[in-house]
Every structure is written in structure tokens, then in C-alpha cells.
Amino acid sequence: QVLGNLTILNIDGHEFDSLPTDAFGAGLVPNHLEKLHLTNGRLSVLPTEALAPLRKLKVLDLHGNRLKELKKNQFRGLRDAEVLDLSFNNITKLDSSHLADLNKMSWCNLSNNAILELTRGTFARNTVLRVLNMSFNKLRRLDSNSFRGMRFIRRLYFNDNQISDVGRGTFGSVTRVGTVDLARNKITKIDYQMFYQLNFVEVSQLVIGP
């Protein structure tokens, strides 16, 4: 048991581009690791099997790498993970199959990627999610399907995208949300019921016109 009872592992500025499928298996980490930070490196491939043994993991921080895609059941086995940071990568696509196993995730940072859209029910299985940061991506549209299942969400950050269309009733299912940040997008019109029942919304640098 090379890492013994280690609960926090921080590897910053690493040079490896992939994790071996048995990186945390074969007794190396005897299920004690709670926080894993693999940050600011060259990681571009993340096998689903690599993280599966880390069943006590609470925090997974992979920000500042070169990940381009997530796989189906990417985080299989991480049912206790509460925090996921995938910011500053090159991810282009996100759907419900990627995050479905993160049933206890309450904080998710996907900012500074290249995500183009939120497919129907992307976060439907992440029912206790409270904070979602998707700023600085390439999103163009939000609608009522974008937030399906997010009953406890409190903070939504979508600033600095390319959003031009926010469908009527988009926020109808997230009545507990406290803050929605849509600053610096391409929104040209606002429906009078778009933010009905929301506590605070920031929509700055708008261009309203025909």
C-alpha cells in the first residue's frame, strides 16, 4: 500500500497525458483518498476505470488540463463525490451519461471549456447540485430542458458565453435559485416572464434590438 492512509493527493504541473487504468487500483490507495487534485498538466485521456476504486473521494479537481471529451459513465464509482472541477480544459460536449454517477455532487465547475450545448437533462441525475459554473464556454441557447431535475440549485453562472436565445420558461423548474449570471452574452430580447420568481439575475452588456 504505497500511499497508505493518505486522504489528500495534490499533483500540480504534471507531465503525464493519461492515467493508467490501474493508477489507483491494486491496493495502491486503500479507499482512503478523499481529495484528488491533478491540476495544470497535460492530462488528455481519462479512462473510466482509473478513478473507479476511489469510492471515498469527495473532491475531484482536474482543472487546467487538456481533456477534450468525457466518456459515458466517466465517473463510475464516485458516488460520494461532492465537488467536481473540470475548468480550463478543452471539453466540447456534455450530456447526462457523463455525470450520471455523481449523485451527491453539490458544486460543479465547467468554466473555460468549449462546450457548445446542454442536452436534455444533462444534470437530471445530479439532484443535489447547488452551484453550477459554466462561464466562458460556447453555449448559444438555454431552454427549460437545460435545468431539468436541478431542484436544489442556488447559483447558475453562464456569463461570457455566446447565448442569444433564452427560451420562455427556462428557469421555471429552478425556483430555489438565488443567482443567475448571464453577463456578456448575445441576448437581444428578454421575455417578461423569463426571470419570474428568481431572486437575483445579472444580465449586463445587453444589446436589445429588432
Residues 142, 169: Cα–Cα separation, whole Å: 10
Between 64 and 29, the more confident residue is 64
Closest by CA to 79, choosing from 99, 59, 102, 60, is: 102
Q: Which amino acid is at 108?
A: C
Residues 100, 133: Cα–Cα separation, whole Å: 18
> What pLDDT is attached to residue 88?
99
> What pLDDT is attached to residue 86?
99
Average pLDDT estimate for 76-94: 97
Residues 188, 152: Cα–Cα separation, whole Å: 29
For residue 104, pLDDT over 70 is answered with yes
Average pLDDT estimate for 182-201: 77
Q: Which domains does the chain have, with CATH numbers?
A: 1-111 (3.80.10.10), 116-210 (3.80.10.10)
Residues 136, 112: Cα–Cα separation, whole Å: 5
For residue 203, pLDDT over 70 is answered with no
Convert the pLDDT of each residue in 125-145 to its tens digit.
Answer: 999 999 999 999 999 999 888
> Left (φ > 0), alpha (ψ -120 to 50) or beta: where does 66 sit?
alpha
Confidence of residue 207 (pLDDT cuts 50, 70, 90): low
Between 145 and 13, the more confident residue is 13
Residues 152, 46: Cα–Cα separation, whole Å: 29
Take residue 36 and report the three cell numbers written for it: 484528488
51 phi and psi angles, rounded to 5 deg = -95, -10
pTM: 0.91
High-pLDDT (> 70) share of the chain, %: 89
**73-82, 83-92, 119-128, range with greatest mean pLDDT:** 83-92
Q: Which residues pair with 38 in a beta bridge?
A: 11
Confidence of residue 5 (pLDDT cuts 50, 70, 90): confident
H or E segment to which residue 84 belongs: strand 83-85
CA 106 vs CA 24, 127, 199: distances in Å? 24, 8, 20
Residues 76, 74: Cα–Cα separation, whole Å: 6
CA 19 vs CA 22, 65, 95, 115, 153: distances in Å? 8, 12, 23, 23, 32
